[in-house]
Amino acid sequence: MALADSKPNLSHLQVSELVKRLFGLTPSQIHPLPSYDDQNFHLVVSEDDEYVLKVMNTEDSQNPTLLELQTHAMTFLHERGLPAQTVLPATSGQVMSLEDIDCGFGRQKYLVRLLTYLPGTPIAKVPCSPQILYEAGKMAAKMDTVLQEMEHPQLHVLQREKFIWSLSNIPLLEPYLHLMDGDPVQQVVKSVIQQYKTCIQPKLSSFRKCINHGDFNDHNILVQPDDSATHKISGILDFGDMSSGYYVFELAITIMYMMIENPTPLDVGRDVLAGWESVIRLNEAERDALYLLVLCRFCQSLVVARHTVLQHPENKDYVMITTKTGIRHLCRLWELGKEVVERRWFQNAAHYPGNE
């Protein structure tokens, strides 16, 4: 996980000078955007000329091949009609620039990219109807099927065997469980990790492989109203957690995050699953694992958030977004048990038109 001094902390003056030097742009407005490990800015140059500046943390900046793959994936999706951001080159022609910047703890190197600004509102900020959840599940499945077609000579870099956010790596949470000492939810997290080792790890070979976006959450999906009083997905953001994985991982991640702000969280799985299965049907092993994988993602979010707040207390409000309701949802799912939750998700999802 990122170290305390790895997250950039550029001032607006530093951003303005950087953007002018690298991209020849003079923003009239600079607005900070939320980020877990990096620093993002919404740049307004004119009324019809807006961008997003991404300044990567120092650890990820040491892995330009991974960032180049993320950039490639975004372009690959965009060219195939999915609403992903694309990267705009600097005046030098480079799509990434490694910059030596002093953010208050000595000069360090940060990779900088300029991205297109996509219209829309994060799902987290709109009333989340079953239709939006269905579209989120459908888009997640379409995205993974398209990414699976992507070719690149460095795809092996996406294995990310020590990446704590990958659902392949749930046991990596164990060294951080002491951060939950005294919290009753700690025992639930320990039990989920043990069940993962027993019930998921031995069956990974039964899941279908793909490339995961890995963070398809309610702040990384933008929506806009369409002509029929419903919403369409207008943007897919933040490919920083992209890794090699399995289709069912993406589905579990999407369900978990769509539950966070939903007033009827137990019904979310039904709608997301119905959208997903309109594109890809789960096989038996994947269906059997889905409930536990959703619990695993809650555990990842809770444990990593505890660690990150210690490293970056100034970012507590953003980092702890999921934690505020995540503990409650995790405990509720755990108490209800696999059979009850699965019945609610799978039987109801099967009644959607086209899913019978």
Which tens digits make up the pLDDT trace of 109-128? 999 999 999 999 999 999 88
Q: Model confidence at 354, in pLDDT bands (50, 70, 90)?
A: low
Provide the percentage of residues in the chain whose pLDDT is more than 70: 94
- Going by pLDDT thresholds of 50, 70 and 90, the confidence category of residue 350 is confident
Following DSSP, what letter does each residue of 108-126 receive, concatenated?
EEEEEEEEEPPPSEEGGGS
Q: Select from 255, 244, 238, 253 the least CA-distant residue to 318.
A: 238
Q: Do 98 and 139 lie in a common domain?
A: no
On whether both 164 and 285 belong to a single domain, the answer is yes
The answer to whether residue 353 sits within a structural domain is no
Residues 90 and 191 in one domain: no
Range of the domain at 37: 16-116
Same-domain check for residues 53 and 173: no
My answer on whether 87 and 170 are in the same domain is no
Which of 64-78, 94-108, 179-193, 304-318 has the weakest average pLDDT?
304-318
Instruction: Please give the positions annotated as active site.
Output: 215
pLDDT tens for 334-347 read 999 999 999 999 98
H helices of the chain, in order, are 12-23, 58-61, 64-79, 130-147, 185-195, 247-259, 268-277, 284-311, 316-319, 321-336, 338-342, 348-349
pLDDT at 3: 54
Pair (255, 328) in one structural domain = yes
Q: CA-CA distance, 273 to 254, in Å (whole number)? A: 9
What pLDDT is attached to residue 56? 95
Residues 230 and 268 in one domain: yes
Q: Is residue 31 part of a domain?
A: yes
CATH number at residue 209: 3.90.1200.10
Final residue of a structural domain among 68, 88, 116: 116
Model pTM? 0.93
Of 59, 88, 116, which marks where a domain is finished?
116
Examine the fold and report which residue of 116, 136, 155 is the final residue of a domain before the chain moves on: 116
* 3 state DSSP class of 235: strand
Q: For the segment 47-60, what is each residue's pLDDT rounded down to a tens digit?
A: 789 999 999 999 99
60 and 37 in contact (C-beta within 8 Å)? yes
Q: What is the mean pLDDT of residues 201-206?
A: 96
Residue 309: its pLDDT value, please? 79
